[in-house]
Each structure stands twice: as C-alpha cells, then as structure tokens.
Structure 1
Amino acid sequence: MFSLYMDESMWVICMIYFNRIKTDKLRIWGGYKMKTIMYTLFLILAAGLAGCGNPVVDDSAASNGVLTLPEDEQEEAVYTLDGEWKFYWQRLMLPSEVSGSGADPLYVQTPSGWSDTQTESGPLPNKGYGTYHLEIELPELLTDDTAGIYIPEIATAYTLWVDQKVVAENGTPGVSRSSTRPDHHPQAAYFKPESDTIDLVLHVSEFHQRKSGWWDSFYIGSAENIQSMRDQNTTREVFLVVSLLVMGLYHLGIFVLRPSDTAPLFFGGLCLAVAARTLLLGEVLFLRFFSGIPWEWTLKFEYWAPCLGIVCAILFIYTQYHRDMNIWIRNSFLTLFSLMAFIILVTPARIFTEGMIFLQSTAVLALVYINIVLWTALCRGRRGSRAHAGAMLILLAFVVNDVLHYNHIINTGETVSIGVFSYLFAQSFIMASRFTNALTHSRQLSDRLEKANQTLEEKVELRTRKLTETNQELEKANQRLERMYRARQELMSNISHELGTPMTSIQGYIKGMLDGVIDRGDPAYLQLVYNKTLLLQKITDDLRELAKLESGGITYTFEERNMRDYVETIYFVYKEEIERKGILFTWEDHLPPERNGVVSIDPIRMEQVLSNLLLNAKKFTPSGGTVTLIVQEQEDRHSIMTGVRDDGPGIEGEELPNVFKRFFKGGANVVKSEEGVGLGLAISAEIVRSHGGEVGVESRKGEGSLFYFSLPVFPVNKNDS
C-alpha cells in the first residue's frame, strides 16, 4: 500500500512531460508506434519505482492478546500488530492495573472499530472509551536496538504506554465528551525495550464522530526502519500533492488565458480537490503546514474535498459530452453535493460525519451515472470517449473499494488515488491531444495556403503547356474560351445592371456640388461619394471571381479528406471569431462511427464556402443566439451533408428559390449596418457544383435558417481505410 503513491505520482510527471513534447516530431517518428513506446516506458518506470525501497512487512497475527514476532534474517522487517487485542470496555486502566485487575477482557479484532465487536447484549456502541492491551514477544534484533512503533489514525483521542511508560499521545482521552480533547493523525514513537517481551496499553475514547478505534495497521520494527517507512510515505505524498498542484494550476492557467473554454477550469478544480484530500489523509501533511487549525475544521476540509471533486468531475464531463448527459440529473447531483457541503460547514463533526454513508453512496451513484454518460458517448463514437470511459470505470472500482474500507467491511487501505490518477492521466492526454490537433490542422492549412500562393504561377504555366500537347486539351481550351466569352457577356450585363444605382448616386452628389446645391468642401458628402466607390470596387471584384468560377478559370487541387475531421478543424479555426460577437458556436457530428466520410475536395476552396456560410450566419444571428456547424450522412448513404444553422430572422418562403442567385439580398433579412452585394452565396454554389455537389437552404420566417451543401462520399468502410 505504501508504494502506490509513487506509482501514481510518476504517472503525473510523465504525463506533464509527454504533453509538452507531443508535437509534429512524434508524428514524423511514427505516430501510433511512438505513443505505444512512450506508454510502455512509462509503465516500466512507474512499476519499477513503485516496487523498490519498501521495507519487508511480516503480517503475523496476534491471538488472545499475545503476538510473537519471528526473527528477521535480513534485519529489514517491519511487523504489523494486527490480530486479537484484549479490550476493557468503559474502563481506562493504568498499565499497572491491567495485569492484576482480574477483569475479563473482550477480544477485539484489529484494525477495526470496537463497534464491530459483538457482546452478549449486542455490538458495542460507537461512542465510549476503553483500554486495549497487547503483549509482544520481540525478536532478538529488536531487543538489542532502539525500536519504533508506527501508530495510525485512532478515533478520536488516545494515550499509548510501552512497559508502563507513555510513548505517544494524541488529544486527551476521557470518560465523557467534555473531558475528551479530540485529535487524530498518524505518528511514530521510539523506545528502548527492556526485555524480549513488552506490554502495550492503549487508552482510546471517542465522542466526537461516527468512527471508533483504528482502521489501518500498527507497525513495529527498528527505529531506523520505522523512520525510513515514514520518510518514504511523506516523500511520496509530497510528490503526489506537488504533481496534482502542478496539474491543477496548469489547467487553471489555460482557463485564465482562454476563459471561453471552461473544461480546463473544472479539470483544474478536480486536481486541486484531490490534492487537498491527499493532504488530509495518510501522513496528514496538512497539519505540518497548518498546525494551528482546530481538529474539527481539518475534518470539515477532509469531507469538503470529495464534494468539490465530484462537482468538478460532473461539470467537466458535461463540457466534454453535454449531448450525452441529462441536464436534470446533472443539476440534481450538483444540488445534492452543494447541500452536503453546506451541512458540513454549519454542523459539528458528530452530526455531519453520520452522513458519511449518504455522501459515499451519492458519490458512487454520481460516478455510476458518469460512467453511463461516457459509455453512451463511446457507443456514439465521440472523440476520446474510449480512454475516458476506461479510466472512469477504474476510478469507480477504487471508489467502491474505499467506501467498503472506510466502513470496516474490507481492509485494503486507501486505494482511490490509483483510480483518480488513471482518470486524470487519460483526461490530460485527451485534452492535450485536442489542443495539439487543432493547432496542427490550423498550421497545416496555413502552410498549404502559403504553398498554393507560391506555386500558382508554376501551375498556370504547367497547365498551359499541357493544353498544347494534345487535341483533347485544345478542345477543352476552346470550350473554356467559349464559356469565358459567355461569362464576359453576362459580366458586362450584370455590371451595367448593378453599377447603375451607385453610379447614379455618385453623379447626383457631384452634380449638386457643381450646381452649388451642395458645399464642395462638405466632408459628409465626400464620405458618401467615397463609400459608393468602395461598393463599386466590391461588386467588380465579386463579379470577376464569379466569372472565373463559371468559366472554369479557377484551378482546383483535389485531395481525399475525412469530412468529419475537416469540418471539425474549420469549427476550431472560426470558433473564437464567431463567439466574439456573443454568439454560442457549437459543433454537431451525426456521422455514424463506422463511416469514415472520405470526400474529394479542394481544402482551400471548400474553406471559402464554409467561411461564407459561417460569416453570413454570424451577420444575421443576434448576440446571445446560437450558430451550429453540422455534418451528417444523407439518406441515400452516398453523400455527406454539411450545414450551418443560425437563430437569425429567417427567410420568406417565396424568396427561398432565389437565395443562391446573383445579387439577391432578400427583403426582411437585410442587415442595415453591413452592406453586401449579394454574390457570396452564388460564388459558394459554383464552388460546390465544381465538386460534384449540391447546395440548399431551409428556413422559415422568424425561425432561423439552415444553409447546407452535400458532397459525394467514397464507398469505403472504416475497417478498410
């Protein structure tokens, strides 16, 4: 048990280091194989550190109040004092009175509470006091050296004699609540045995909480071995707490830098809650830093930590899988644990500790529900749900173990740290992977855009040379010229139609200045004229772009892409820009997990389409509304639909057929503060048609709009990819 803390601490340090170095170099080195090697090295290192340096523990059991310890040939043994101790209920007997009292003792099994002891009138009550007595026959090694005893937490006050000498005290035991001063934390006592047999007499009283006796083992051995064991315990717990604090503060720092993402906030809170709980268990390091804190407040802190930790865990899971968690169940758990924290704050220990069973049961139920949410997410193919669900299942198993241990049903020691760190390691890795993938995809897109700009002239020259090599290419060139001619004619027609209004406005302002109706130096009218020239330039640029698309003058670079991953990357690229307006930007993946969703696209041009749809949705959605990016499989299973849904004013039914036509601006949907020319959707439609896809829109007046396009998908299963 004492070796477990080092194991989990090493997981934390390795995780932090791995998250920092996990960059594109790992992808170059081999991706999956490299991560497998790293995991294997972590396991070997952690297992090696967990198993070294611990003293040998001999678990000989006492019988009828007598314990005979065997000889230790290696001189490294640390013995437990578990087994049957003599117990005198409701009597605080001095060591000189125990042997000659003539009283009949009870025999209690340790470690446990005396409430587990059955008498003729039933089990003993939790509240009360008594005297424990154990005779120990020492091995020769301990009779020749200074010996040490490791004393665990004993509820709630005690005095320990060895051979009629007081060697350790914790609080002040008494025969009533008023005469007892509570305190409990582990400590070590050292003494020089006077013979090969020693007598341990222990006064214990409990009137302040629900537990009695002790639930971890006493240890005895040489002073050097006992001190070494305590030093190892302290070192591991300090290492564990520091690791948790680093993790917690690191993720809180991420939240401070990017407050729109609350997942690091709740994850950091969970790490700090576990760190606080670790400070209050084991060697109770909390008292070494804050020795003046009253006993009852340290107990309140110990009970608060699980409440805070589970609240943070529920909220963290909700940020990751909100579509899979029921909001009413979530709020019910949050209310329950908040109420428990309040009760702990305002009631004394003798009251709130009685609710420990309820707190533990509710915690187990919360973790069971979290497991249900994670397995639901796993079945729906959510990203990262496999590692998440596996780690949470391990955590649940260890929580159940600790509930049984602290209720004296089993005696395995505190083990929840193993499950907690398995869970925290998995979550840190998942979060780091998501951040890294988003940055990597963004950087890849930027690199491709830059490369495309640098090589554009070379590609044009290459395509021109190919046109002259075959009659087929010449024929295609003739067809393209014909389309360009038609597009030019249509361009001139559109120019004469659309440029009339701004040109008329400009002429009117200038004529007014010439006639003296308008002051020639009036900056307001000069600004109006300038704005109209900007509108003319925007119309001309968009018409030129549309003409190139329709005439085939744009070169596409098609690549096979997984549409789910591509659209998710676009979501992270535009998330901050859209949410800056106060809009909630969400992402919905409705593709079946078994579908890979591979399509052939030009990533740059397809981003132009998605950017147009997203920025239109942002323009028409008021602050406080929602914009959703959607990807799903069409009913025919041969194409994938990608859409953008907004909370805008919607579109009249008679206007829907004209949405993707040139210069269409609609009636009620015009945003007065943002003037447009009505060519963006027409350009997007041409790009989608060039990919062999279709565009569409669904909208009702006052109910928002859904603009979407569909692309043909390659008929390849995920297992074949």
Structure 2
Amino acid sequence: MKTIIYALFLALAAGLAGCGNVIHIDDQKASNGELTIPGGEQEDAVYALDGEWEFYWREFVSPAALSGEGLEPWYVQTPSGWSDMETGRGALPDKGYGTYHLEIEIPESMQNDTSGIYIPEIATAYTLWVDQQLTAENGKVGVNRTSMQPEHHPQTAYFKPQSDTIDLVLHVSEFHQRKSGWWDSFYIGRAEDIQSMRDQNTSREVFLVVSLLVMGLYHLGIFVLRPSDTAPLFFGGLCLAVAARTLLLGEVLFLRFFSGIPWEWTVKFEYWAPCLGIMCAVLFIYTQYSRDMNRWIRNSFLTLFSLMALIILVTPARIFTEGMMFLQSAAVLVLVYINIVLWTALRRGRRGSRAHAGAMLVLLAFVVNDVLHYNHVINTGETVSIGVFFYLFAQSFIMASRFTRALTHSRQLSDRLEKANQTLEDKVERRTRKLSETNQELENANHRLERMYRARQELMSNISHEMGTPMTSIQGYIKGMLDGVIDRGDPAYLQLVYNKTLFLQKITDDLRELAKLESGGITYTFEERNMRDYVETIFFIYKEEIEQKGISFTMEDSLSSGRSWMVFIDPIRMEQVLSNLLMNAKKFTPAGGAVSLVLQEEENEDGHSIITAVRDNGPGIDEEELPNVFRRFFKGGANVVKTEEGVGLGLAISAEIVRSHGGEVGVDSKEGEGSLFYFILPVSPNK
C-alpha cells in the first residue's frame, strides 16, 4: 500500500513539474547575438531565448546606438552570469554592469499577434527595451552600488512585433550580491501562451506552498496537543521553512503578498529558510533514529547552521551571499550524513527506515540538481521544492502511519481493558476470598503460636508446681541418709527414692505430651473407621485386664443396625482416650463393682453423632468438682483412692485428643453412685 501511494505521488509531482505549455527549445540556439524561431510549430508553443547574446561590459549602450558601427561586442552564453565568461584577461568579476543584445527572427505566425516575453530573475537590476521601446524594468540600474537600486523577481512583458525581427536590449547592473546575469531562461511566444505558462508555474508553486503550510501547521498542532513528542515540532518547522523558501524562489510569490518588504530582507529570508529547514531536519531525524545518529556530529551541524543564520542576520547581502557555496556544500553534507544515518537504521531494521531512506535519496538528487543549476553547471530550473515536497509528503505519511499504529494499539488496549474489566469483579472476588483465607490461616497460625506460648508457660508453671512434692521427698530421704538418721544401705528407702524419680519422669512425659496437644504439635493420622467395630475391638483388648481386679466389664451397644456408623479418627490416639477412661474406671471401682463400655447415637441439627462412654459404679465425684474434672492436675477431693497415685493429666490429655477430632468430652456423676465419662464424635456424612 505504501509503495502504491508513493508511486502515485511521484507521478503527481512529475506532472506538476512538467505540466503546462510545450516549451520548444531548438537545437539551433542563438549564435553571435542572433536567433531564428522556425515556423510551422505548434500554436501554443513558447521558445527559450538561450544561446550567445551580444554583451558590452561596463557600458550602458542605448538601443539606438547599437544600430551604429564601431562597437565590438563580446558574446556571452546564456543563461549564465557574466562572471562565467572568460576573456583575455581572465573571468569577469561578479560586480559590474553591462548591456545584452539579441536579435530574434520570428515566423509570420507571430507577426500579427501580441507577443509576450517571460523575464526570469536577473541579478540585480535591469531595464529591457523591445524594438527600442522601454518594455520592462526591475529595480534601478547604475554604475556603482550607490547609484543602483537592487530588485529581482520574474515578470512578463507584452508587445506587438513591428516586423519579422525583434530587437532586445537589456541593461543589467549588479553590486549587491554574489550572482550576476540570470540563471533561468527567457521565453517568448504569443501573449496568452506566455501568460498561461506563468499561471501554471504560479499554480504549481501555490499548490506546493499550501500543501507544505497545511502539513506544517497540522504537525505543530499535534505538538501543541502532545508536547512530550518533539518529532511533530521539528517536522512542522521543516515544512514551514521549505514553504517560506518556495515563496522566495521561482515566481517569488512572497512579494505578491508582502510587496513593501525591502530587497535586502527578502534575500535574508531566502537564505534563512534553508538554515532553519536543515536544523529542523537534523533534529527530526534525531527524534526518529537517535540510536543511529552521532550526537557530536548532530551538535556540530546545529552549531554551524546557527552561526550561518546569525551571519545572515548581521551582515548585508553583498557579504553573506558570498558564503552561498559554503552553505550549499554544508547542506549537501548534511543530507549525505542523514542518508548514512537512514541507511544505518535500515540495516539495523528500524521501523519506517526503508521508506524514509528512499524518500531522502530522492530529495538528495533534487538538491544536487539545484546546486548544479544555481552554479550554472546545468540548466534544469529550480526543482528542489518538488523534491522536498515529495520527501515531506512521504514523511507525513510515515508519521501518519505511526499515529495510526498508535491509535490501533490504543484501541486494542482499550478492547483488552474492557475484557479485563468484565472479569475484574470475579478476579477481585477470588483474590479477596484467597486473601481472606490467607488471613484466616495467619490468624489460626497466630492462635497456634499463642497456644504454644501459653502451653509453654503453663508447662513450666506446672512442672515447678507438681515436681515440688516428690522433689521435697527425695531431698528429705537423701538428707536423712547424709545426716545418719536413715541407714544409707536400707533398701526400703532406696526403693522410695527410685519410685519418686519414676513419678517425676511420668509427670515430665505427661506434661510434654499435653503441651504438644494443646499447641498443635501432634500430627494425627486420620482414618475412616466403623466406630462400632473399633470400640468392640478395644473392649476385648482391655476385658481381661479389668476383670483381673474382680470387676465386671461389659459392652452396651445401643446403635441402630441401619447405619454403618463411620467416623474419621486416629486409631492410636483414640485408643489412648479409651484406655485412659477405662483405667480410671478400673482404678476407682472396687472389686465386685461393674464397668461398662457404652455406645449410643445422638441426632442434632448437624446430623448424627456417636456417644462413646465408660460407666462405673465407684464412689462418684462431688458435684462441685465436676467442672474441674478435665483440668490438668485435678485429682479430686475426699473420694480419691489414696492407694492409687496419679499425676492428674490423663483426662486433660484425653480432652485435647477428642477436641482435635472435632468432638467434645463430658462427665455425669453423683457422689456414691458412680460416674459416666463420655465423648461425642460426628458421624461421617452420607454414611
């Protein structure tokens, strides 16, 4: 697509450059001050008056005097400056004055119509006579700088031929700039054809200027809206600089809008425009390919052209125009370096570098053409405006493509953002839920740490409390032995000391296990078990041991047969609970008493539960002591069997194990009627 657009634009530019009347240039140019226009050509043709004109150096010869004899003219090739003419004493200087003369033999077809002559820019003032009639002038000719008034811009003059020969006499003076003579062709033809040619030249330049102004102002507007991106600023400045230069060349449209501007300032503007444009071009390329352009070289070029602009501002035209060759050389050097940068960017695969490099190469060709043209090497006319317009149009298209890509990317981001917003609530909800779960885990961990801390504190307190009595006994026995009150070899006292150490070991082990249970330091291995079968197994394991004391041990199963009564338990830890309850029942039940292992079902709002209980007919527990039964180190009051020594941690350990299974423990007891210790576990769902 880009290639098609560029090809179409190139065709448009070529059309603008070549549109208009057919300009016929004979192979037989003017020779020795005479030119013959052949007949039988197209009616709308105009003819270039190129070739050898008579030239009289440092003489203003009147048209009437040229018809006399005794004058020895030189012959100068046109279009060119008289400084290009070689004489016996070398080339003529730029500053000076002289008279040009050309006789034109016209065909019969031109003798009856009003004719027109197109006069190009002539440096720097002239007066034109046609058939000894003053026809056109520009500025005021003079023999020195103070006597002349500079002015130069194209114009047309109209006249009616008096015969088959036209006599042109041209007085020219130049003392204000480096150029002399003229560097574009004179044209002659019918009046309407000359005017049509000039109108088409004007239309072409107006099209170029308006297009450049629109592009420049558009990109400056983009910069105002988005000042962070400086590329539109420099590109807009480049467009405006080229538009200004176009207004000051060719038909010099600038003077049609600002006719009162002094000649000196129009020349300054003409030279300022390239300096400004080149600086903007360098900065624009740098914004596009900063990694491919050397900063030192960039700053050197900017400094150089800034100095040139300053010199143009503070010096008169006769001085700063002498640096035209230097300015042109520097401009070509900048364009060559820019091409190097662009081809480097192209080699490195930078985006847009291919089209950029191609457009710049075309522009460089137009610039070289104009340099050769203005230095009278070739005569092709001013074409750099077309080349610059082509380049700027290509750059405008590249930048528009970049903005389009940015807009497309923005739209894609907007679409993705819209899709993301559609699921944002779900994501927030999921993440909030996850955060809540994490917070709950942290809170649980904190509770576990607190329990561990409290368990550690209680462990140390309980150790110091419960170990006091046995330690005191041990100390008393040992002190007695040391003092000789007790025989050191008495086995009975040694046995007592040994028993006290075993008791201390049991207290330590039970306290350690309780601390682990309360702090969550015990790892459970849960399995799904049938509670009826599990309890029945426990019953047969402990039956013989309990009955050896003369106690009746039975099992009461009240569970219905319609369910499987599955529960999740750690079999080893649950046996520890049942063993603790059974051994306590055995301990406090006298011989001849009865102990029963009971299974019952319970139904509540959460489903079914199983009650597992151990019932005995021992001495029972006082009602006031029931709330303290499952507290650590509780050993009861008057009903405690004195012959049985215990730590008072078994029920506390059992309660912690049951709570870790999601159950609860309890006790029912009446003094003198026995006790019922039980725990409740939930039945597995759908079982």
Q: Find the counterpart in structure 1 of residue 490 from structure 2.
A: none
Greater shift, 49-58 or 118-127, is seen at 49-58
Q: What amino acid maps onto 1:151 in structure 2? A: I
Deviation sequence 1:321-369 (CA, Å, 0-9, x none): 1111111111111111011001001101110000111111111111111
Change (3 A) 1:496 1:181: farther
Q: Deviations over 1:489-523 (max 9, x none)?
A: 766444668999xxxxxxxxxxxxxxxxxxxxxxx
Q: Residues 497 and 50 (structure 1 numbering): CA distance in 2 closer, same or farther, change over 3 Å? A: farther
SS at match of 1:438: helix
Partner of 2:355: 387
Secondary structure (helix, strand or coil) at the match of 1:324 reads coil
1:54 aligns with 2:49: no
Structure 1 pair 276–89 and aligned structure 2 pair: CA distance change class (3 A): same
Q: Which runs of 4+ in 1 moved over 2 A?
A: 35-60, 448-459, 484-500
Q: 1:211 and 1:451, CA in 2 relative to 1: closer, same or farther beyond 3 A?
A: same
Cα offset, 1:381, TM superposition: 1.1
1:191 shift after superposition? 0.5
Moved more, 62-71 or 486-495: 486-495
Q: What do residues 20-48 of structure 1 show as CA deviations (whole Å, max 9, x unaligned)?
A: xxxxxxxxxxxx5xx55555555566655
Please give the secondary structure, in 2, of the residue aligned with 1:323. Answer: coil
Aligned counterparts of 1:374 and 1:238: Cα–Cα separation in 2: 31
**What are the equivalent positions in structure 2 for 1:525-544 lying under 5 Å apart?**
none
Aligned equivalents of 1:81 and 1:124: distance in 2?
A: 23
Work out which of the residue numbers 129, 132, 141 in structure 1 matches 2:109. 141
Does residue 309 (structure 1) correspond to residue 277 (structure 2)? The answer is: yes
Q: Structure 2: any 5+ residue segments left out of the alignment?
A: 449-687
Alignment of 1:147-226 (within 5 A): 147-226=115-194
Structure 1 length-normalised TM: 0.59
Query: Which amino acid in 2 is paired with 1:137?
Result: E
Is residue 55–residue 229 contact of structure 1 (8 Å, CA) maintained in 2? no
Displacement of 1:274: 0.4
Matched, 1:353 2:295: no
Q: Using the alignment, how far apart are the partners of 2:446 and 2:357 within structure 1?
A: 59
**Secondary structure at 2:341 match in 1:** helix
**CA 1:50–1:203 in 2, change beyond 3 Å: closer, same or farther?**
closer
Q: 1:491 to 1:128 in 2, by over 3 A?
A: same
- Which deviates more, 421-430 or 104-113? 421-430
Match of 2:38 in 1: 70
1:422 Cα offset (Å): 2.3
The one-letter code sitting in structure 2 at the alignment partner of 1:445 is L
1:66-465 matched pairs, under 5 angstroms: 66-451=34-419, 454=422
Q: Alpha carbons of 1:343 and 1:134: their partners in 2 closer, same or farther (altered >3 Å)?
A: same
SS, match of residue 279 in structure 2: helix
- Contact in 2 for aligned 1:152/1:216 (Cα 8 Å): yes
Q: Distance in 2 between matches of 1:452 and 1:406?
A: 63
Q: Relative to 1, partners in 2 of residues 1:413 and 1:376: Cα closer, same or farther, differing over 3 Å?
A: same
Q: Residues 301, 147 of structure 1: CA spacing in aligned structure 2 closer, same or farther, 3 A cutoff?
A: same
Query: What is the deviation of 1:436?
Result: 1.1
Distance 1:415 1:183, change over 3 A: same
Q: Give the CA deviation at 1:235.
A: 1.5
**CA distance in structure 1 between the aligned counterparts of 2:366 and 2:12, rounded to whole angstroms:** 23
Task: Tell me which amino acid in the other structure corresponds to 1:219.
Answer: Y
Kept in 2, the 8 Å contact 1:175–1:205? The answer is yes
Aligned equivalents of 1:119, 1:156: Cα separation in 2: 22
Checking the alignment, whether the CA contact within 8 Å between 2:127 and 2:134 is kept in structure 1 is yes
- Whichever residue aligns with residue 343 of structure 1, its letter is I
Q: Distance in 1 between matches of 2:388 and 2:259?
A: 27
What is the SS of the residue equivalent to 2:349? coil
2:267–2:317 contact (8 Å) kept in structure 1: yes
> Separation in 2 of the partners of 1:373 and 1:251?
23
Amino acid at match of 2:350: R
- 1:675-690 equivalent positions in 2, closer than 5 A: none
Seen in structure 2, the aligned counterparts of structure 1 residues 171 and 143 have a Cα distance that, compared at 3 Å, is same
SS in 1 for 2:291: helix
- Give the secondary structure class of the aligned counterpart of 2:298: helix
Q: Is the 8 A contact 2:83 2:94 kept in 1?
A: yes
1:72 CA displacement: 3.8
Distance 1:131 1:496, change over 3 A: farther
- Equivalents in 2 of 1:346, 1:449: separation in Å? 58
**Contact in 2 for aligned 1:277/1:306 (Cα 8 Å):** yes
Indicate the residue corresponding to 2:558 in structure 1. Answer: none
The alpha-carbon deviation at position 450 of structure 1 amounts to 2.6
Q: What per-residue deviation string (whole Å, max 9, x for no partner) do you get for residues 67-96 of structure 1?
A: 000114431110000000010111100011
Distance 1:300 1:499, change over 3 A: farther
Supply the distance in 1 between the matched residues of 2:121 and 2:129 (Cα, whole angstroms). Answer: 16
Counterpart of 1:93 in structure 2: which amino acid? V
Question: What is the CA distance between 1:231 and its match in structure 2?
Answer: 1.0
8 Å contact 2:13–2:390 — kept in the other structure? Answer: no
Deviates more, 1:36-45 or 1:280-289: 36-45
Task: Measure, in 1, the Cα distance between the counterparts of 2:68 and 2:433.
Answer: 120
CA distance in 2, matches of 1:352, 1:42: 36
CA, structure 1 residues 495+428, in 2 after alignment: closer, same or farther (shift >3 Å)? farther
Instruction: Give, in whole Å, the separation in 1 of the partners of 2:361 and 2:243.
Output: 21
Q: Percent identity?
A: 80
Cα deviation digits, residues 171-230 of structure 1 (max 9, x gap): 111111111111111000000110000111110111111010000000000011011111
Contact persistence 2:301–2:334 (CA under 8 A): yes
Partner of 1:9: none
Match of 2:71, SS? Answer: coil
Distance in 1, Cα, partners of 2:269 & 2:435: 76
Deviation readout 1:444-473 (Å, 9 max, x if unpaired): 1322343465589999xxxxxxxxxxxxxx
The alpha-carbon distance between structure 1 residues 180 and 495, as it changes in their structure 2 partners (threshold 3 A), is: farther
Q: Could you tell me whether the CA contact under 8 Å between 2:50 and 2:186 is conserved in 1?
A: yes
The DSSP-based 3-state class of the residue aligned with 2:246 is helix
The corresponding residue for 2:539 is: none
- Corresponding residue SS for 1:188: strand
Give the Cα separation in 2 of the matches to 1:230 and 1:150.
8
What is the CA distance between 1:429 and its match in structure 2? 1.3
Instruction: Give the TM-score normalised by structure 2.
Output: 0.61
User: In structure 2, do the counterparts of structure 1 residues 241 and 342 end up closer, same or farther at CA, with 3 Å as the change threshold?
Assistant: same
Letter aligned with residue 138 of structure 1: I
Change (3 A) 1:327 1:495: farther
Q: Distance in 1 between the 2:15 and 2:126 partners?
A: 38
Q: Which amino acid aligns with 2:190?
A: S
Greater displacement, 111-120 / 370-379: 370-379
Amino acid in structure 1 at the alignment position of 2:233 = L
Mapped contact 1:163–1:198 kept (Cα < 8 A) = yes
Distance (whole Å) between structure 2 residues aligned to residue 293 and residue 58 of structure 1:
36
1:621 is aligned to none
In structure 1, the gaps of 5 or more residues are 1-31, 460-483, 501-721
Residues of 2 paired with 1:286 and 1:213: CA distance?
A: 22
Match of 1:658 in 2: none
How many correspondences in the alignment? 443
